[in-house]
Amino acid sequence: MKKIKLNLGKRSYNIVIGHHIIKDIAKLVSPSVLNKPILVITNKKVARVAGGKLLKALKAIGAEVHGKEVPDSERAKSFATYSKITTELSRIGKKIKPTIIALGGGVVGDVAGFAASTYRRGIPYIQIPTTLLAQVDSSIGGKVAIDLKEAKNLVGSFYQPRAVICDLSFLKTLPRKEIINGLAEIIKYGIIRDKALFNYIEKNLQKILNLSGKYLEYVVWKCASIKARVVEKDEFDSTGIRVILNFGHTFAHAIENAFKYSKKHTHGESVAVGMVLASDMAFDLGILSSEDFERIRNLVKRAGLPTAIQKADIGKLMKAIEYDKKFLSGTNRFVLPRRVGRVETVEDIPEILIETVFKRGGA
Ligand SMILES: NC(=O)c1ccc[n+]([C@@H]2O[C@H](COP(=O)([O-])OP(=O)(O)OC[C@H]3O[C@@H](n4cnc5c(N)ncnc54)[C@H](O)[C@@H]3O)[C@@H](O)[C@H]2O)c1
**What's the pLDDT score for residue 17?**
98
**What's the pLDDT score for residue 313?**
86
**What's the pLDDT score for residue 115?**
98
* Any ligand 1 atom below 6 A from CB of 189: no
**What's the pLDDT score for residue 324?**
64
CA dihedral 158, 244, 274, 350 (to 10 degrees): 110
Closest CA to 279 of 361, 348, 355: 361
What is the number of other CB atoms lying within 10 angstroms of the CB of residue 137?
A: 23
83: confidence class by pLDDT, cuts 50, 70, 90: very high
What is the distance in A from the centroid of ligand 1 to the CA of 135? 9
| DSSP calls for 220-240 | HHHHHHHHHHHHHH-TTS-SS
pTM, two decimals, is 0.96
Residues 10-20 as b/e (b if ≥16 CB within 10 A, e otherwise) read eeebbbbbbbe
Residues 166-194 as b/e (b if ≥16 CB within 10 A, e otherwise) read bbbbbbeebeeebbbbbbbbbbbbbbbbb
**What single-letter DSSP state applies at residue 267?**
H
What is the distance in A from the centroid of ligand 1 to the CA of 321? 24
**What's the pLDDT score for residue 328?**
56
**What's the pLDDT score for residue 311?**
79
**What's the pLDDT score for residue 266?**
84
The residue contributing the CA closest to ligand 1 atom 42 is 106
What is the distance in A from the centroid of ligand 1 to the CA of 70? 13
262: confidence class by pLDDT, cuts 50, 70, 90: confident
* Any ligand 1 atom below 6 A from CB of 174: yes
**What's the pLDDT score for residue 290?**
97
Mean pLDDT across the stretch 304-323? 88
Residues 68-80 as b/e (b if ≥16 CB within 10 A, e otherwise) read bbbbeebebbbee
Q: Which segment of 123-127, 216-220, 337-341, 358-362 scores lowest on mean pLDDT? A: 358-362
Classified as helix, coil or strand, 50 is: helix
Asked whether residue 36 carries a pLDDT value surpassing 60, the answer given is yes
**What's the pLDDT score for residue 310?**
83
* Any ligand 1 atom below 6 A from CB of 308: no
**Cα–Cα distance, 228 to 92 (Å, whole number):** 33
Asked whether residue 113 carries a pLDDT value surpassing 80, the answer given is yes
Mean pLDDT across the stretch 150-178? 95
Asked whether residue 261 carries a pLDDT value surpassing 90, the answer given is no
Asked whether residue 192 carries a pLDDT value surpassing 70, the answer given is yes
**What's the pLDDT score for residue 32?**
93
339, amino acid identity: R
> What residues are paired with 66 via a beta bridge?
39
47: confidence class by pLDDT, cuts 50, 70, 90: very high
> What residues are paired with 7 via a beta bridge?
none
**Cα–Cα distance, 14 to 6 (Å, whole number):** 6
**Cα–Cα distance, 145 to 156 (Å, whole number):** 4
Asked whether residue 129 carries a pLDDT value surpassing 80, the answer given is yes
Q: Which segment of 97-111, 136-150, 268-282, 303-317 scores lowest on mean pLDDT? A: 303-317
H or E element in which residue 192 lies: helix 176-193
Mind spelling out the 3-state secondary structure of 293-320? HHHHHHHHHHCCCCCCCCCCCHHHHHHH
User: Average pLDDT, whole number, for the chain?
Assistant: 94
The residue contributing the CA closest to ligand 1 atom 3 is 138
What is the distance in A from the centroid of ligand 1 to the CA of 105? 3
**What's the pLDDT score for residue 363?**
77
The residue contributing the CA closest to ligand 1 atom 20 is 73
Asked whether residue 325 carries a pLDDT value surpassing 60, the answer given is no
What is the distance in A from the centroid of ligand 1 to the CA of 13? 22
pLDDT higher at 327 or 198 = 198
Closest CA to 128 of 97, 100, 93: 100
**What single-letter DSSP state applies at residue 243?**
G
Using an 8 Å Cβ cutoff, are 128 and 168 in contact?
Answer: no
Q: Return the percentage of the chain with pLDDT > 90, whole number.
A: 86
